[in-house]
Structure 1
């Protein structure tokens, strides 16, 4: 009897986690419209950053090799802010991917791989954090963890496409990874949480659980 109790507890935890995800599955028209709007806004930010970032990126990397990674967070924002507002399974992947598609359509120096493929990967790495949390935890800490996870996704793509088979200094790679991670935590995590709360306080998110719950906490 005692041996079955831990198994029953595990089954209950898994069942609760699964039921929580199921309850949040259904997308409304307003969810789709809002996630799409966020994706478009994010895509425009991605595209603008594509052309503004090379000079400061090169300057930071000249000061400390790998330090340019501190600017990467601007490419990680779409999935996090979409998930914080819409709070529906798939919102992070949807917004980050659609934003990356718009970035590619507008034209940049990265091409399909550096835009669309990266967007899909980053969106997936954002999504998995909220999935593990069963789409039930909403605070600055989960936003920062999601930002960090997104940064890891971006790093994985860069490492696979640019560094495998190439002679890369280990110290540089470590510095770049750390800078990239901090950027994800601060820009796409903490900053996006601040943006979400600022938007919610205006009252325009009253159709969303995210907006209502934040106003109730005030």
Structure 2
């Protein structure tokens, strides 16, 4: 499925915006993790994967979730993330996880469930990266599953749910009129009118 120039431009704009947010969130993570510990700070995880569901929800094309997350992670890295290269590498794994959620439904379902699943699978992807980078011995089973559980919940809420809230708010302003999200909405409205008019 070919991408239109306006979709590429919007993806770049949103990825840059999310990347800057990721950087700020990473900076905020340092004092919070010092207070509650890295596992406790896992509730912050979801913001780091919000680029995927936001862009995928608007563009609705294969690869959108993956490209958005990797691009946002690259922006975070290039703007000085203290996580260094790992910011980009974990972005790749999170992007793959997020993309899988949309691929499962053959890129035809972009409802709240799919967006939240995107955030959850991004958390799984992120944990896979951590296990590969740190080794299985780095975590006790309890810490591993607790951290994963917190990240999944955060990914669902701060990633998927918040993405839907943000995009729906943007859609109401009219700035997304030329994108797939609004085209699909108009199709549904026409279908509902035809049914009610029968």
Whether TM-score is above 0.5 comes out as yes
Equivalent in the alignment of 1:197: 168
Equivalent in the alignment of 2:71: 98
Is 1:57 aligned to 2:33, yes or no?
yes
TM superposition outliers: structure 1 runs of 4+ over 4 Å: 215-218
Query: CA RMSD for the aligned pairs?
Result: 1.7
- The two structures have a TM-score, normalised by structure 2, of 0.89
Deviations 1:137-175 (A, max 9, x none): 011111001110111111111122124233x33222221
The answer for unaligned runs of 5 or more in structure 1 is: 1-24
Structure 2 distance, partners of 1:154, 1:88, is 22
Structure 1 distance, partners of 2:23, 2:59, is 23
Point out the structure with max Rg over C-alpha. Answer: 1
Residue-pair matches, total: 189
Deviations 1:23-46 (A, max 9, x none): xx1110111011111110111011
Distance 1:195 1:214, change over 3 A: farther
- The two structures have a TM-score, normalised by structure 1, of 0.81
Equivalent in the alignment of 1:148: 120
Is 1:85 aligned to 2:61, yes or no?
no
Match of 2:107 among 121, 135, 147: 135
Equivalent in the alignment of 2:195: none
The answer for unaligned runs of 5 or more in structure 2 is: 193-198
Match of 2:8 among 29, 32, 49: 32
